[in-house]
Amino acid sequence: MISFESDYTEGAHPAILRRLVETNLEQTPGYGLDRYSESAKERIRKEFGVPEADVFFLVGGTQTNSTVISSMLRDYEGVIAVETGHIGVHESGAVEYTGHKVLTLPPHEGKMSAEDLRAYLEAFYADGTYEHMVIPGMVYISFPTEFGTIYSKAELTALHEVCRAYSIPLFIDGARLGYGLMSEANDIAPKELPGLCDVFYVGGTKVGALFGEAVVFTHGNAPAHFFTTIKQHGALMAKGRMLGLQFDTLFTDGLYFEIARHADRMASLLKGIFLEKGYEIFIDSPTNQQFFVMSRQRASELHSKVRFEDWCPVDDSRIAVRFVTSWATKEENVLALKEIL
Amino acid sequence: MISFESDYTEGAHPAILRRLVETNLEQTPGYGLDRYSESAKERIRKEFGVPEADVFFLVGGTQTNSTVISSMLRDYEGVIAVETGHIGVHESGAVEYTGHKVLTLPPHEGKMSAEDLRAYLEAFYADGTYEHMVIPGMVYISFPTEFGTIYSKAELTALHEVCRAYSIPLFIDGARLGYGLMSEANDIAPKELPGLCDVFYVGGTKVGALFGEAVVFTHGNAPAHFFTTIKQHGALMAKGRMLGLQFDTLFTDGLYFEIARHADRMASLLKGIFLEKGYEIFIDSPTNQQFFVMSRQRASELHSKVRFEDWCPVDDSRIAVRFVTSWATKEENVLALKEIL
Amino acid sequence: MISFESDYTEGAHPAILRRLVETNLEQTPGYGLDRYSESAKERIRKEFGVPEADVFFLVGGTQTNSTVISSMLRDYEGVIAVETGHIGVHESGAVEYTGHKVLTLPPHEGKMSAEDLRAYLEAFYADGTYEHMVIPGMVYISFPTEFGTIYSKAELTALHEVCRAYSIPLFIDGARLGYGLMSEANDIAPKELPGLCDVFYVGGTKVGALFGEAVVFTHGNAPAHFFTTIKQHGALMAKGRMLGLQFDTLFTDGLYFEIARHADRMASLLKGIFLEKGYEIFIDSPTNQQFFVMSRQRASELHSKVRFEDWCPVDDSRIAVRFVTSWATKEENVLALKEIL
Amino acid sequence: MISFESDYTEGAHPAILRRLVETNLEQTPGYGLDRYSESAKERIRKEFGVPEADVFFLVGGTQTNSTVISSMLRDYEGVIAVETGHIGVHESGAVEYTGHKVLTLPPHEGKMSAEDLRAYLEAFYADGTYEHMVIPGMVYISFPTEFGTIYSKAELTALHEVCRAYSIPLFIDGARLGYGLMSEANDIAPKELPGLCDVFYVGGTKVGALFGEAVVFTHGNAPAHFFTTIKQHGALMAKGRMLGLQFDTLFTDGLYFEIARHADRMASLLKGIFLEKGYEIFIDSPTNQQFFVMSRQRASELHSKVRFEDWCPVDDSRIAVRFVTSWATKEENVLALKEIL
């Protein structure tokens, strides 16, 4: 059955597997000290225009979020996210497990607004009892968000300015970064992104790799002993070159962006088909996750013909559903939806 | 340059890569709910003779240790290990990061003795102030140990009996399990191991896989919500089938044991060469890690001809060095050592 | 200046100080193993009609909340509270510091509704992804709440039934328990309270003691090694009899309830004066905390004549203010408010 | 029965109780923002000659240790202590509960030697794998130690120099500080102590107070938001003036030192009696804790006549016992020992 269930149902882009096979019997030092990891870091620094950035490779998204967040917070600090932010909902309390509260703001189609953030911080420091509360020490957003939406350059700039005014680092969860940056609706160039935040990561798991996330501390601002922190979090790969090789491949000849662009195009094609068929859009996403409203009964029927996820209830009779494309999505499968719908 | 630096310098056994390539574009559910993971779990249960065991796949050793240990301890409990135990030395305090103390006993060639353990526990509960101390809640050993040594069936049985007398689970870190079980000196059959402990893991990273450790709760005793615990620790792979496929391959037609046996044979060959050349053994290991004593100067010269690790100082002029074989070690490279030494 | 700022601005009820002075030079064992602590525990068990209860004394409220909550949760669990619950707002993230998320429900005048709780739990377990979320493992409420309101017997019974249906313990923060139980609006007898929850504490700090909170595990359900847990949290007093002596005094001849009743009467008198003077009630509290609405200007003027707390903004021009009475409040001071207002 | 069991068996010095009674009905702000706390801080700054020091009051020793240590360490760091250090043995793993490992060195009569520390740090940074280990981030010693011994000025200076060479703060647990500083064997003046460490605390619980420890960050180096950290650890007293009043009293007219000197004199008298009676000294302590060796049978007989603690086994037939004096010890009771022994 055709599946639009998620962007992590397949393996890796074939170029990656090819590379793993070719280098399989080479002997290299462990823990990311190999030449492939070095090369990959260099390519990422170049692609994002940050020669002085610190780059580290971790295995998965939740792991990356809790490792980065806890390493940048002091014990008494919490991280601000929107209520629908991944760290606050679907990471089994990984951030709290490291001792930090997730402070929440209301989402706007999955995004945090600079106005809300500023109002929160102003009210916080205006409250005479703030020393009895959790000190806000970081802002977490995702790009694209859990609803596929993206920040405009103006929105992200505004958020970053509030963060800077309060000396709070801005962290961008880029588990699906490629799909965001390659969206036709996006006005932020890869080389502009590092200037609009303090740390972000380039998601590999959902964008062509078997696994892997590349963390970029944009201005040489990696926390001291971050290598040790990674190890302490159980996030250090013994055979670290597996991460290096994958990102080295993805950032050779623009492969990462090319495959992300493909996924976005497939998502756009898919959205057109749903609209043509008269479905209502739940949240208008310009990236590889698409959300539609349909009756529970219709969703139930469709499940027998195509794989996708029920997202959340809309009202008593209707639900939102999610269809996801990826680097691996075939155009013929999207077109096949026309028949199915 | 030939390298005997460690057992994680290469990629994976070719059969694993082949399998990854063959299945690359299949679509499967994430998070280990795929059929390959199910199949791998079933094969492991069968190979170790524990149809009722709970099996989970994690990515790396430190991660597995801290996830398993913290999941089985209550907040007020600590884990007992020997002073040279991996969790107490080379995991950047990952266990303490989860809130638990590592309580230590003296090692005997890397092993814990049942007598020491019993004496410790007796003295602990005889101490009127024990409620002001950390309650011992688990015993951690590695098989083979950090020095390549292995427990005899009698030794392991004695340890397990002390644990049972105090209702403390016994956890075996099997990062190099294959090399231990296939050692000529070993008298514990794979099917006997589960009866001698409460949880162990089958190391993949160092025994043929790209990465991966298979945790086996031997008698259906996985802690409640262990899946959520794995996620909380950032240890859950989105593309979980990567783990399933690797272990499914390793446990098809005895591959895991076959390649481990090869490594042990290579280690034995290597040890013979060192002895022939008059080197002194530092700790006599019957598995794939071999430790010899040599002058600092000799070690320094050798480093220009072959890769290996300086292990620890022996006295002012001599050090212990470590040579490691693996599933990938070629006999010709071991024989080449003759010329080099 | 007369102060209605809080119920912890004075020292202790004189009977307590007298007792401390009388026994000062006696030598007793430390850590709460003295006869005064034993006597106090026995009196509390008797007063609340729970001969089999486990009673422990801790020093302060935040400490008690984080110690009790973390001791009853497993690592993967969180505690449910209303958004205005003390643990989620004014405890500097003490619960998260122990690794647990505070899951929130909307407050109803500071209270949690059984309907909301049931709906939350139903939705949680109906969500196919719940294993990626924080498992609800405890319910936390305060009695009276942060707004002085109290649960009726019917409300508390309903909440407890939902908890039991999901095997989740119900924990009552009783930092101001006496003021709640002695309220004229209250229909829960002290001896009925233990049957309606799994653990509660009797607040001493705010009800007549220098400090101290008495935790009552209502049905012998104290977590194993709770003494060690207290020590681990830095919450164990060396001179534990200080806690025993205070609670022994408070629970002799009904002193605790008598002084709480006085505070409630003073609060009622105070409320009458405000109403007479035409002030609007912000939240109608039947206990020792009273909340009124007034213009910012009026509040500002009043601050020069009497001490009280600005609570929160109501609208652009008005705020809510809090006036608190205690065991030490003098009727003449309340009456003096008439002149001031 | 006369008791030499510990220095926390009585209440407080009568001057403290008098002060509590006198001020009992005054209304003051909570959380240590009262004038008594301010006055006490000022007196402590003056007595130790550190006008720029940050002073905070906490309730007990274990609480103070874990709050101070965790606030000064980053997540990847551990604290170095001797194996017999209180934090590593008798605090129920409170430091590990905050996520940090206690790294140990061998004790010399309870003390850490500068040579051992330097050798440890040199070896640590010489080890190529140190990034896989716990980074040493603080040194913890107690003055006097758990065995009553004290550091000479030369010893403490040497330790501090090693700490400074590695930019590691030195923390002195002064639970019994007064008894150390007033010892006839001591050559460190109160005003010299702050220059020899980075943070220390003045123990109140064991030296005349009901409870309380005064933390002194010697050169204005309190960690940011330390107030919030105290709250987060459940260590903030609502009625903070209780701490202020006690330390204000203890540091008025040299009371703290006077009563400590008395205890040391009583200990010296007691030691003389033991020596006269032919008992062997276990560890020669110049402060209020005295350790002697006696046969198990003799100890057992003595327990029926006087209270003291069995400390540890010496050999099969003999044990070490501890006798402790305090500010409250009466000379007549010490002299009565002559008859008993």
Instruction: Determine the Cα–Cα distance for residues A161 and A158; give it in Å rounded to an integer.
Output: 5
The domains of chain B, with CATH numbers, are 14-254 (3.40.640.10), 256-340 (3.90.1150.10)
B309 in A contact zone (CB under 8 Å): no
Closest alpha carbon within chain C to D243? C210
Closest alpha carbon within chain B to A8? B239
D139 contact partners, CB below 8 Å, separation of at least 6: D79, D80, D81, D112, D117, D159, D163, D168, D169, D170, D171
C311 contact partners, CB below 8 Å, separation of at least 6: C282, C291, C319, C320, C321, C322
Question: What average pLDDT does range A270-295 have in this prediction?
Answer: 97
Is the predicted pLDDT of residue C1 greater than 90, yes or no? no
**Residue D234 and residue C93: Cβ atoms within 8 Å?**
no
Question: What average pLDDT does range A184-195 have in this prediction?
Answer: 98
**Residue A239 and residue B8: Cβ atoms within 8 Å?**
yes
Is the separation of the CB atoms in B210 and A237 below 8 Å?
A: no
What order do you get walking across the sheet with B213-217 strand by strand?
B54-58, B213-217, B199-203, B170-173, B135-142, B77-82, B102-105
Q: What is the pLDDT of residue A58?
A: 98
Stretch (H or E) spanning A42: helix A35-47
* DSSP at C288: S
Task: Output the CA torsion sign for B323, B325, B329, B334.
Answer: positive
Q: How far is C185 from chain A, CA to nearest CA, in Å?
A: 30
- Which of A269, A263, A268 minimizes the C-alpha distance to A327? A263
Paired sense of beta strands A135-142 and A170-173, if any: parallel
Q: How far is B281 from chain A, CA to nearest CA, in Å?
A: 26
- Which of B52, C127, D131 minimizes the C-alpha distance to A227? D131
Considering only the beta carbons, identify the residue of C76, C224, C227 that sits closest to B228.
C76
Considering only the beta carbons, identify the residue of C75, C90, C101 that sits closest to A132.
C90
Q: What are phi and psi of A136, to 5 degrees?
A: -70, 125
Q: What is the pLDDT of residue B12?
A: 97
Residue-wise pLDDT tens digits, C244-276: 999 999 999 999 999 999 999 999 999 999 999
Instruction: Determine the Cα–Cα distance for residues A89 and A288; give it in Å rounded to an integer.
Output: 21
Question: What average pLDDT does range B212-231 have in this prediction?
Answer: 97
Length of chain B: 341
Query: Does the ipTM exceed 0.90?
Result: yes
Stretch (H or E) spanning B281: strand B280-283
- Beta bridge pairs of residue A281: A292
Is the predicted pLDDT of residue C171 greater than 90, yes or no? yes
**Residue B131 and residue C225: Cβ atoms within 8 Å?**
yes
C6 in D contact zone (CB under 8 Å): yes
B86 in D contact zone (CB under 8 Å): no
Q: How far is A87 from chain C, CA to nearest CA, in Å?
A: 10
**Residue D71 and residue A75: Cβ atoms within 8 Å?**
yes
DSSP B88-100: HHSSTTHHHHTT-
Instruction: Determine the Cα–Cα distance for residues D6 and B339; give it in Å rounded to an integer.
Output: 69
Paired sense of beta strands D289-295 and D280-283, if any: antiparallel
Residue C296: half-sphere exposure toward Cβ, Cα within 13 Å: 7
D92 in A contact zone (CB under 8 Å): no
C231 in B contact zone (CB under 8 Å): yes
**Residue C25 and residue D10: Cβ atoms within 8 Å?**
yes
Q: How far is C71 from chain A, CA to nearest CA, in Å?
A: 15
Question: What average pLDDT does range C36-64 have in this prediction?
Answer: 98
C chain contacts of residue D24, beta-carbon cutoff 8 Å: 10-12, 14, 17
Measure Cα distances from D93 to B80, C71, D100, D231, D236 in Å: 13, 15, 10, 20, 21
Question: Which of B239, B303, B323 is the best residue to mutate to test the A interface, defined by the most A CB atoms within 10 Å of its own CB?
Answer: B239
Question: What average pLDDT does range B48-65 have in this prediction?
Answer: 98
Paired sense of beta strands C213-217 and C54-58, if any: antiparallel
Q: What is the pLDDT of residue B88?
A: 95
**Residue B78 and residue D91: Cβ atoms within 8 Å?**
no
Instruction: Determine the Cα–Cα distance for residues A32 and A28; give it in Å rounded to an integer.
Output: 9
Q: What is the pLDDT of residue A263?
A: 98
Q: What is the pLDDT of residue A284?
A: 97
- Which of B167, B165, B172 minimizes the C-alpha distance to B197? B172
Task: For chain D, give the mean pLDDT.
Answer: 97
Question: What average pLDDT does range C171-198 have in this prediction?
Answer: 98
Alpha helices in A48-165 (DSSP H): 61-72, 86-89, 94-97, 114-126, 153-165
Q: What is the pLDDT of residue C59?
A: 98
Is the predicted pLDDT of residue A109 greater than 90, yes or no? yes
Question: Which of A76, A229, A233 is the best residue to mutate to test the D interface, defined by the most D CB atoms within 10 Å of its own CB?
Answer: A76
**Residue C237 and residue D60: Cβ atoms within 8 Å?**
yes
Q: What is the pLDDT of residue D129?
A: 93
D chain contacts of residue B97, beta-carbon cutoff 8 Å: 75, 99
Residue-wise pLDDT tens digits, A218-252: 999 999 999 999 999 999 999 999 999 999 999 99
- Which of D227, D233, D75, B76 minimizes the C-alpha distance to C95? D233
Strands (E), chain C: 54-58, 77-82, 102-105, 135-142, 170-173, 199-203, 213-217, 280-283, 289-295, 309-313, 318-324
B chain contacts of residue D76, beta-carbon cutoff 8 Å: 92-93
Question: Which of B71, B167, B225, B230 is the best residue to mutate to test the C interface, defined by the most C CB atoms within 10 Å of its own CB?
Answer: B225
Considering only the beta carbons, identify the residue of D93, D128, D310 that sits closest to B134.
D93
B11 in A contact zone (CB under 8 Å): yes
D chain contacts of residue B66, beta-carbon cutoff 8 Å: none
**Residue B76 and residue C131: Cβ atoms within 8 Å?**
no
C23 in D contact zone (CB under 8 Å): yes
Q: What is the pLDDT of residue A307?
A: 95
Cβ atoms within 10 Å, residue A317? 10
Q: How far is C79 from chain D, CA to nearest CA, in Å?
A: 17
- Beta bridge pairs of residue A324: A289
A224 in D contact zone (CB under 8 Å): yes
C124 in B contact zone (CB under 8 Å): no
- Which of B151, B144, B125, B146 minimizes the C-alpha distance to B136? B125
**Residue C197 region by backbone torsions, left for phi larger than 0, else alpha for psi between -120 and 50, else beta:** beta
Q: How far is D155 from chain C, CA to nearest CA, in Å?
A: 30
Is the predicted pLDDT of residue B242 greater than 90, yes or no? yes
What order do you get walking across the sheet with C213-217 strand by strand?
C54-58, C213-217, C199-203, C170-173, C135-142, C77-82, C102-105
Interface contacts B/C by beta carbons within 8 Å = 43
Q: What is the pLDDT of residue B133?
A: 98
Residue-wise pLDDT tens digits, B161-206: 999 999 999 999 999 999 999 999 999 999 999 999 999 999 999 9
A172 contact partners, CB below 8 Å, separation of at least 6: A141, A142, A143, A193, A197, A199, A200, A201
Stretch (H or E) spanning B55: strand B54-58
Structure tokens given for B111? 């092993």
B95 in A contact zone (CB under 8 Å): no
Instruction: Determine the Cα–Cα distance for residues B38 and D116; give it in Å rounded to an integer.
Output: 53
What order do you get walking across the sheet with D289-295 strand by strand?
D280-283, D289-295, D318-324, D309-313
B chain contacts of residue A242, beta-carbon cutoff 8 Å: 11, 210-211
Question: What average pLDDT does range C150-166 have in this prediction?
Answer: 98
**Residue D75 and residue A131: Cβ atoms within 8 Å?**
no
Paired sense of beta strands C199-203 and B77-82, if any: unpaired
Task: Output the CA torsion sign for D4, D9, D12, D17.
Answer: negative
**Residue B73 region by backbone torsions, left for phi larger than 0, else alpha for psi between -120 and 50, else beta:** beta
**Which pLDDT band holds residue C14 (cuts at 50, 70, 90)?**
very high
Q: What is the pLDDT of residue D1?
A: 86
Q: What is the pLDDT along chain D (341 residues), one digit of tens a residue?
A: 899 999 999 999 999 999 999 999 999 999 999 999 999 999 999 999 999 999 999 999 999 999 999 999 999 999 999 999 999 999 999 999 999 999 999 999 999 999 999 999 999 999 989 999 999 999 999 999 999 999 999 999 999 999 999 999 999 999 999 999 999 999 999 999 999 999 999 999 999 999 999 999 999 999 999 999 999 999 999 999 999 999 999 999 999 999 999 999 999 999 999 999 999 999 999 999 999 999 999 999 999 999 999 999 999 999 999 999 999 999 999 999 999 98
Question: What average pLDDT does range B24-36 have in this prediction?
Answer: 96
Q: How far is A222 from chain D, CA to nearest CA, in Å?
A: 14
Instruction: Determine the Cα–Cα distance for residues D341 and D336; give it in Å rounded to an integer.
Output: 9
Alpha helices in chain B (DSSP H): 14-23, 35-47, 61-72, 86-89, 94-97, 114-126, 153-165, 177-181, 226-232, 241-250, 255-276, 296-302, 331-340
* DSSP at B194: G
**Which pLDDT band holds residue A1 (cuts at 50, 70, 90)?**
confident
Measure Cα distances from C84 to C142, C324, D97 in Å: 10, 18, 28
